[in-house]
Amino acid sequence: MNLRLFLLTILLFPTVTFAQYGGINSFQFFDIIVSPKVESLGGSGISLPNNNDVSITRVAPSLLNDGMNNNFVFGFSDYFSDINILSFSYARKIDNLGITSVNIQAIDYGLFDYTDDFGNVLGEFSASDQIFSFSLAKKISSVFTLGMSLNLLNSKYSTYSSVALSSNISSTYFNNNDLCVTFLVKNIGRQLKKYNVSENLPTQIEVALSKKLKYLPFTYHISYNNLQKFDISSPYKLNNSINYNGVNLQFQKESFARTLLRHLIIGGELRPFNKSLYLRSGFNFQRRFDMSLSSYASFVGFSFGVGFEVIGFVLDYSRSSYHISGTTNNFSITTNINNFAL
């Protein structure tokens, strides 16, 4: 089995039209990843080879590898406004089974005013989401790894709550030439407990590739997401024309190239002098197209990050620009339990 067969499998994968649009599916918080490595590369890091960040395996379980054994990661995200996210991940190799990991992520949206129909404040309520994941990966050959994760999703907003069970399935190809390709189907599942009505989970299909250059300490990453749907622009966009104060305004239809670019996320990691320092950057086209303002120059869509190793710990930081008024800051610390063995 080789890379050609792997890519052919991806191309011939059944064209399942999963519903996935921003704002009309439940449990979209599953796509929020605290990992600074993922965020600094534009929001997709499912093709990071020989990576020590266990938190990524919640999304792409086939990235689990022997080098992660006994690694644990604490992550924190200073998200928008007063939203804070905490995560914990741990990996363990089990003989005759494979590499496993446990991931927990909690999102706290803070307190909100509870009002009546006339705006009178009656009190406060809280909102939060939690993800509990178990992942397993098995190496089926010297270059192929298969992985699956089971995810319990819990959401509670005031007196409303919902629970769902989902699964991620991925396969990763990695050879000695530092080429890594990952194919992922994520969020396959259903609600176990609904809010008021049943809603779809944001199921997606992704493929990503990374390659380390031969003569430079640089690895580039290219991700193509939402293979299940070509037009992933907002379902709430304006029609081709609209009548405004008696004037018929025409809107230019989005070009094929722009629609195609919406699927792409590109990024790169530079490791100067192959030392314990990592410099990362990424660009998310979808984020840029939907969230930037044509009248205001900004870094919307761009992400930056840095990581370094010191005395058995790996510290990572990222900053991502989602909007001119909204950026996120992610932090993580990674180490191995064996470093504390007596």
Structure confidence by residue, pLDDT tens digits, 276-317: 899 999 999 988 888 877 777 688 889 999 999 988 899 999
Please give the pLDDT value at position 107.
93
Give percent above pLDDT 70 in the chain.
Answer: 86
Q: Which two tokens stand for residue 111?
A: 């307190």
| Pairwise CA distance, residues 27 & 204, whole Å | 13
- Confidence class for position 178, pLDDT limits 50, 70, 90: confident
Closest Cα partner for 107 from 89, 85, 92? Answer: 85
Please give the pLDDT value at position 251.
62
Decide if pLDDT at 238 tops 80. no
Residue with structure tokens 């909690």?
106
Decide if pLDDT at 169 tops 60. yes
- The pLDDT tens digits for 130-163 are 999 999 999 999 899 999 999 999 999 888 899 9
**Which alpha helices (H) appear in 136-223, and where do they start and end?**
none
Closest Cα partner for 307 from 48, 57, 58? Answer: 48
- Confidence class for position 54, pLDDT limits 50, 70, 90: very high
Closest Cα partner for 173 from 147, 134, 203? Answer: 147
| Pairwise CA distance, residues 50 & 222, whole Å | 17
Q: Are 104 and 88 in contact (CB under 8 A)?
A: yes
φ/ψ of 222, rounded to 5, equals: -130, 125
Across residues 210-235, what is the average pLDDT? 87
Residue with structure tokens 């370094």?
308
Q: Are 249 and 242 in contact (CB under 8 A)?
A: yes
* Average pLDDT taken over every residue of the chain: 84
Give percent above pLDDT 90 in the chain.
Answer: 45
| Pairwise CA distance, residues 263 & 331, whole Å | 26
- Confidence class for position 206, pLDDT limits 50, 70, 90: very high
Rounded to an integer, what is the distance from CA 30 to the centroid of its chain?
Answer: 8
Please give the pLDDT value at position 197.
77
40-44, 91-95, 169-173, 230-234: the lowest-pLDDT one: 230-234
| Pairwise CA distance, residues 209 & 49, whole Å | 10
Residue with structure tokens 């509670």?
156
Please give the pLDDT value at position 292.
78
Q: Are 63 and 182 in contact (CB under 8 A)?
A: yes
| Pairwise CA distance, residues 184 & 261, whole Å | 19
Torsion over CA of 222, 227, 233 and 236, rounded to 10 degrees? Answer: -140
Domains of the chain plus CATH, in order, are 3-340 (2.40.160.40)
- Confidence class for position 326, pLDDT limits 50, 70, 90: confident
11-20, 129-138, 272-281: the lowest-pLDDT one: 11-20
| Pairwise CA distance, residues 46 & 185, whole Å | 11
Closest Cα partner for 303 from 40, 38, 127? Answer: 40
CB contact set of 341 (below 8 Å; sequence gap of 6+): none
**Which alpha helices (H) appear in the chain, and where do they start and end?**
3-11, 36-40, 256-261, 285-291
Please give the pLDDT value at position 8.
41
Q: Which two tokens stand for residue 3?
A: 């890379």
pTM equals 0.83
Radius of gyration of the chain (CA): 21
173: β partners = 144, 181
